[in-house]
Chains A and B, each alone.
Chain A
Amino acid sequence: MPGFGFTMAFTLFYLSAIVLIPLAALVIRPWELGWSGFWAEIGQPRVLAALRLSFGASAVAALINSVFGFIVAWVLVRYRFPGKKLVDALVDLPFALPTAVAGIALSALYAGNGWIGGPLEKAGIKIAYTPYGVMVALVFIGMPFVVRTLQPVLADLHLDSEEASATLGATRFQTFRHVILPMLAPTLLTGTAMAFARAVGEYGSVIFIAGNLPMVSEITPLLIIIKLQEYDYAGAAAIGVVMLAISFVFLLGLNALQAWASSRR
């Protein structure tokens, strides 16, 4: 069949020009600081605080999504109710809505004079412009990953084992705990990990609601932008390389997880 040479050459050229060479340029850059200079850059308290917030808030958001995303997926697959197709289609909203739009909408909603933030503030809870605001934004953007990963697997789940469990006298909760959950665990873990990986790098939806206080509510991607504005290219690249390394570790882990999940099915 014709076309191999041409399409392969174009694919490799385009991939190298847009993705591989630029990423290589990023990986090389911070080493002009030297090994110790690189670690000094990463070891700054402000950088460490940003990394801690990015990973901590992403982990909490992914955990919240694993619980509520599971319930949403369960309700969408197992139950019937009017308007289900509409709700199902809207689950993808965080994928489709530009992150800046999500960011200003969430901060308007959770600010002290917002629909949700107002009542909460009266109760003494502040969400916007605190680390909790960061978590709210990360829950928003991570939710579809958990729901969309679980849905097809949940729909394919055979009811035989649930029936067997019920005939052997298990309560519905025991069946869930000992039959359904173990079958779904790898998939749930995959979806949660995807939500986490997306959250760590997220920028647009977070910066409006975060307040961006150094050491308190400043996320790692924002710190890269601040370094660039100060023309500290090497410093920005050092943080960028750390984030890139972490996303590669996650990509590898996710591939392994998915292989495990499909072998369990």
Chain B
Amino acid sequence: MKDILHPRAATDDHPLTKIALSAIAIGFLILFLFMPLLSVFSEALAQGWRMAWDALREPDAVAAIKLTLLVAAIAVPANMVFGLAAAWCIAKFDFRGKHFLITLIDIPFSVSPVVAGLVFVLIFGLQGWMGQWLRDNDIKIVFALPGIVLATIFVTFPFVARELIPLMVDQGRDEEEAAVSLGASGWSTFFRVTLPNIKWALLYGVLLCNARAMGEFGAVSVVSGHIRGLTNTMPLHVEVLYNDYQYVGAFAVASLLALLALVTLTLKSLLEWRFAGELAASGRH
């Protein structure tokens, strides 16, 4: 009787298949997503809120948090300006080698983070190309802030550009051409016409760029030198504490980073649900 009232469509899976596949999918996600996430917070609070809170107020932890914020505050705007410039010249003009340029911009995504750190050590390290000269002039790049910033910029390089390029190519150039023909300057065309059209995609790219900049580990680990309280970012501080068997401290700092990831995911999903049409259709990660 039930089958006659609610016939199953030919493209529907058998109810038992549905249950089995759903169980496998949810089980897999619990094992590889929810449990790791849960364990970060559970380990941090293993000895109570007090211990976790104290681990965050410890001077080395505070220094690591400040350094992470500083690095992101330099790297993210730098890549934002680059993303805007690259998307402008690629979307609004025709030139030869455009596809090649887009491929070059994507390179940092396919390079191992450790290799990203390595390239800067080979240039600025003690035995690098400029090592002797830097030492003679008493300039520190590797094992200091500039190296950490450079490595972070490298690994987060394409985030803003790859959000903006497909969107701005899709939007075309009619509106800008109209503004210019009516006498608007380049800058006012950009701020009054282009920017309002791309603001959500720009925010989306900046959000992902920032999450990676604050969380980057491999590349920064190579160039930082792990000097406590000086060149340790938050992820590096997590590593130092963990290797010191200070698990509560390591997981307390880690849960701050996990919270950052959750906030990023929430904002990202909100942008996708609310402004799907104004974000680039392609390249969702």
Chain A residues in the interface with B (C-beta under 8 A): 1-4, 6-8, 10-11, 14-15, 18-20, 22-23, 25-26, 29, 68, 71-72, 74-76, 78-79, 81, 85, 87, 89-102, 104-106, 108-109, 114-116, 136, 139-140, 143-145, 148, 152, 159, 162-163, 166-167, 172, 197, 200-204, 208, 221-222, 224-225, 228, 231, 233, 236-237, 240, 243-244, 247-248, 250-251, 255
Could you say which of B10, B17, B34, B217 contacts A166, with CB atoms under 8 Å apart? B10
Query: Can you sample 24 A-B contacts with CB below 8 Å?
Result: A3-B186, A4-B93, A10-B85, A15-B82, A25-B128, A26-B115, A68-B24, A71-B25, A74-B25, A75-B22, A76-B25, A89-B268, A90-B29, A91-B29, A91-B33, A98-B234, A101-B261, A105-B37, A109-B39, A203-B113, A204-B113, A208-B242, A224-B114, A240-B118
* B111 and A247 contact, CB distance less than 8 A: yes
Do B85 and A163 touch (CB < 8 A)?
Answer: no
The reply to whether A172 and B112 form a contact with Cβ atoms under 8 Å apart is: no
* B180 engages A2 (CB within 8 Å): yes
A90 close to B33 (CB less than 8 A): yes
Bound CA span A25–B123, Å: 7
Count the B residues whose beta carbon is within 8 Å of the partner chain — how many?
A: 99
Which residues of A sit under 8 angstroms from B111, Cβ to Cβ?
A: 23, 201, 244, 247
The A interface is mostly helix, strand or loop, or mixed, namely helix
Which residue on chain A has the smallest CB distance to residue B173? A1
Q: Which residues of A contact B92 (CB under 8 A)?
A: 1, 3-4
Q: A19-B107, A96-B264, A115-B39 are in contact. Are A72 and B25 (CB under 8 A)?
A: yes
B190 touches A3 (CB 8 A): yes
Residues of A near B85 (CB, < 8 A) are 6-7, 10-11, 14
Partner pick for A200 among B112, B173, B239, B265, CB 8 A cutoff: B112
Q: How far is the CA of A149 from the CA of B4 in the complex (A)?
A: 37
Docked-complex contact A20 and B115, CB < 8 angstroms: no
B115 to chain A: which residues have CB within 8 Å? 26, 201, 221, 224, 240, 243-244
Is B238 a contact partner of A104 (Cβ separation < 8 A)?
Answer: yes
In the complex, the answer to whether B269 meets A89 with C-beta atoms within 8 Å is yes
Inter-chain contacts of A200 with B (CB < 8 A): 112
Q: How far is the CA of A204 from the CA of B112 in the complex (A)?
A: 11
Selected contact of A11 from candidates B86, B125, B126, CB within 8 Å: B86
Please indicate which of the listed interface residues B101, B157, B185, B254 has the most CB atoms of chain A within 10 Å of its own CB. Answer: B254
Q: Tell me whether A95 and B285 are in contact in the complex, defined as CB-CB below 8 angstroms, given that A7-B86, A26-B122, A71-B25 are known contacts.
A: yes
Contacts A26-B122, A75-B21 given; 17 further ones with Cβ under 8 A?
A: A3-B88, A8-B95, A11-B101, A15-B101, A19-B107, A26-B119, A91-B33, A98-B215, A101-B258, A104-B40, A105-B36, A108-B251, A197-B110, A204-B218, A221-B218, A233-B127, A250-B110
A81, A87, A98: the one within 8 Å of B29 (CB)? A87
From B88, B106, B238, contact of A101 by CB (8 A): B238
Partner of A97, one of B11, B18, B37, B125: B37
For residue B162, give the distance in angstroms from its CB to the closest CB of chain A: 13
Q: Which residues of B contact A106 (CB under 8 A)?
A: 36
Closest 5 CB pairs of A and B: A201-B112, A98-B215, A166-B10, A2-B186, A203-B218
Q: A2-B185, A14-B82, A96-B265 are in contact. Are A233 and B33 (CB under 8 A)?
A: no
B177 touches A98 (CB 8 A): no
